[in-house]
Amino acid sequence: MGPSDEDMNYAFTSRNRQTSISGFWMDATEITNNEYRQFTNWVRDSTAAIQLQYGKDVDGRFQIDWKKAATIKWGDKATIEKLNAMIVTPDNRIFGKIEIDPNKLKYHSEVFDLKEAAAKGNEGKPRSQFIMKHDVPVYPDTLVWIRDFSYAYNEPMTKRYYSHPAFGNYPVVGVNWNQATVFCEWRTQYLNAHLEAKKMATESNFRLPTEAEWEYAARGGRSQSMYPWGNYYLRNKRGCLLANFKPGRGNYPEDGGFYTVRADAYWPNDFGLYCMAGNVAEWTSSFYYEGAMNFQHDMNPDIRWNAKDSDPPRMKRKVIRGGSWKDVGMYLQTSARTYEYQDTSKSYIGFRCVIDLSPTITGRR
């Protein structure tokens, strides 16, 4: 890990060191608008099914009848009138148009905090003390396209980027760290429910990559290279740019995309992963601390902090990696690290998921 060349900004937050990483699978691309929309649609349909009582109570929990939920007619006025709790209030409607309130789309998260349970002094405490429950709004913040850039006209992206089918295979943005985390939780439950129905093993556990895992994947086996494609340049021998970033002094479309591009654009690295540099920066699960490289373990290095809403901003910093479409080339280096606050969404930050390899695959004979 760490820089293969000079530390350009002399921050010294990334040190050169050798580490070992357990095997894992990673998404070939960043999570796209189409993939994330499946999540928000699931939350929408499940919320509506609960309000319409499409299901039954089982052991104190409401079990949704998904066959019946699939018949919900969102364009039917009679159906919409039964879902007042999900609809924008009359004073928030434009020309009286009845629409779903995105703020009402919340995913109920329940996670067991293994690190807290393993902490010294917590032996013998009730399991319930380590179960974290909270509701997370899941709809992306589409206003980031305007908020992130002062004195710039980006309203069309606000109106179309997440909803228009033309951007379906582009990376989702406007998703904060909390939303990316619950997407992984939902994806885990969604897949395991399918595997359980097929009477197959349910060991899947999607999550965000640690900072070390992300860098290992980005390097693609090139341990001493500055970029996922090697050294030392951002162009190939024909002069073509190798990633989506901000070339020169602001010629954004020179690399083929004014803003983001398709999640599978450009050549993948040697691990078959697309856009590990540029396009959108990516959330990791790691807590950002300037001196983290000096004390992390050399086996699966990781530093985490489950920040609460009441914690100071400094404790909410999460590592982002990879650089984005609006960044200069320095941030595309595999060792470049920076941060953003976990409750903040940006038009240039997305994410991808990883899943641990099965012990039967990683174990030696």
3-state secondary structure 110-171: EEECHHHHHCCCCCCCCHHHHEEEEEEECCCCCCHHHHCCCCCCCHHHHHHCCCCHHHCCCE
Question: Within 10 A of 338 (CB to CB), how many other CB atoms are there?
Answer: 17
Of 22-31, 74-83, 210-219, 236-245, give the lowest mean pLDDT range: 74-83
Q: Residue ranges per domain, the chain?
A: 1-32+209-358
Say yes or no to pLDDT of 365 above 50.
no
What is the per-residue pLDDT for 6?
63
Average pLDDT value over all residues in the chain: 88
Fold of the 1-32+209-358 domain: paralog of FGE (formylglycine-generating enzyme) (3.90.1580)
Asked if 17 and 1 touch (Cβ cutoff 8 Å), the reply is yes
Angle at 17 between CA 16 and CA 18, to 5 degrees: 140
The angle at the Cα of 308, spanning 303 to 314, to the nearest 5 degrees, equals 60
What pLDDT score was predicted for residue 8?
60
User: How far is 163 from 33, CA to CA, in rounded Å?
Assistant: 8
pLDDT of residue 11: 62
pTM over 0.85: yes
Q: Output DSSP code: residue 188.
A: H
Q: What pLDDT, in 10s, does the model give residues 106-141? A: 999 988 888 888 888 888 888 888 888 889 999 999
